Amino acid sequence: MPSSFRDKVIIVTGASSGIGLASARLFGSLGARVVMAARRLPLLQELAPSVAPADRVLCVGCDVSSEADTAALVDATVKRFGRIDILINNAGLSMRAYFKDLDLSVLHRLMDVNYWGTVNCTKAALPYLLESRGQVVGVISVAGFSPLPARSGYSSSKYAVRGFLDTLRVEHMKDGLNVLVFAPGYTSTNVRNAALTADGTPQGSTPLEEGKLMSAEAVALKLASALKQRRKQVILTPIGKLTAGLRKFFPRLVDRITYSYIAREGKVPQSEEKQ
């Protein structure tokens, strides 16, 4: 695998924690030149030595919901490394609230980060990715294939990302651009602690046993393998594959199973009752 990524220029958004940080570290260890993007620039700079030597890593403070920030991210990358080979759209937010209870600003925030963040970064980087015959990745979720209760904004944004990337793939099927839709299952990250509740405040805790979930490092390895093979779509877990497959033929059954499965998390947090 190292020869597949040596000297490749790889942008990773949401690189300050979780899958993004694990991926940045993995690609750095494989000889890539890594661009770490996230809103918290000081944290990125603190983490950068664990990713790659100083001359092979670039930290850029970036809010992916901002067109100006994403354009600046791409400009800084090209100025420093001269090219872009892979864009990993990983930055994202989750939520925990029923639609009937939430403030619509929560849905706007989810779409701004998850969907528009992917669109903004891809639009800015696309000319360079076409030039390098590179790859663009959208890290979504099984929620982008089958809806999850209390995740209306999250599922909607992930469905939208999948639709956008699938369309992009068809548009550029003759250009050498590879487009990967990558759907991990439950992964041990900070995403549930940071998930927005009905009024937009963070949940602050997780309802799951994080130690029993797939590690971010394991997900990063799967992502690297998919990129090496230039895959088009990956759903990681058996239950994710089963859910996406069954929904095509037995949607009502999948709805009932999904409802029961998510109910194991306990009561969905409301704005005044954060678990």
Per-residue pLDDT of the chain (275 residues; tens, 9 = 90+): 668 999 999 999 999 999 999 999 999 999 999 999 999 999 999 999 999 999 999 999 999 999 999 999 999 999 999 999 999 999 999 998 899 999 999 999 999 999 999 999 999 999 999 999 999 999 999 899 988 888 999 999 999 999 999 999 999 999 999 999 999 876 655 555 567 888 877 665 555 544 556 888 999 999 999 999 999 999 988 888 888 888 889 999 988 888 887 766 655 444 333 22
The confidence score (pLDDT) of residue 188 equals 58
CATH classification of the domain holding 86: 3.40.50.720
Q: Which residues form the domain of 192? A: 2-263
Alpha helices by DSSP H, the chain: 2-5, 18-29, 41-47, 67-81, 104-110, 116-132, 152-171, 191-194, 216-228, 238-249, 251-263
Q: Is residue 32 part of a domain?
A: yes
The confidence score (pLDDT) of residue 189 equals 56
| Residues found in the chain | 275
Q: How many domains does the chain have?
A: 1
Catalytic site positions:
154
The confidence score (pLDDT) of residue 199 equals 80
The confidence score (pLDDT) of residue 213 equals 64
Alpha helices by DSSP H, 189-275: 191-194, 216-228, 238-249, 251-263
Q: Is residue 59 part of a domain?
A: yes
How many helices (H) and strands (E) are present in the chain, helices listed first? Answer: 11, 9
Q: Is residue 227 part of a domain?
A: yes
Q: Is residue 273 part of a domain?
A: no
The confidence score (pLDDT) of residue 76 equals 98
Calpha distance 262→23 (Å, rounded): 28
Q: Is residue 268 part of a domain?
A: no
